[in-house]
Amino acid sequence: MNLPKVIADLVKAQDSFDSVAYANCFSETAVVFDDGKIYNGRKEIERWIASANEQFKAVMKPVSFEKGKTGGVLKAEISGDFPGSPIVLSYHLEIVDEQIESLKITG
pLDDT band at 1 (very low <50, low <70, confident <90, very high): confident
Single out the residue of 62, 69, 59, 56 nearest to residue 91, CA to CA.
62
| All residues at 6 or more sequence positions from 69 whose CB lies less than 8 Å from its CB, including other chains | none
- Strand pairing of 59-67 and 71-79? antiparallel
Query: What does residue 65 show for φ and ψ, rounded to 5 degrees?
Result: -140, 125
Query: pLDDT averaged over the chain?
Result: 97
Q: Is the pLDDT of residue 76 over 90?
A: yes
User: pLDDT tens for residues 8-25?
Assistant: 999 999 999 999 999 999
Domain regions of the chain by residue span: 5-106
Average pLDDT for 51-66: 97
Task: In whole angstroms, give the CA distance from residue 20 to residue 17.
Answer: 9
Residue type, 23: A
For the chain, the farthest-separated pair of C-alpha atoms sits apart, in whole angstroms, at 37
**pTM for this one?**
0.94
CATH classification for the domain delimited by 5-106, as one of 3.30.1380.20, 3.40.630.30, 3.10.450.50, 3.30.450.20: 3.10.450.50
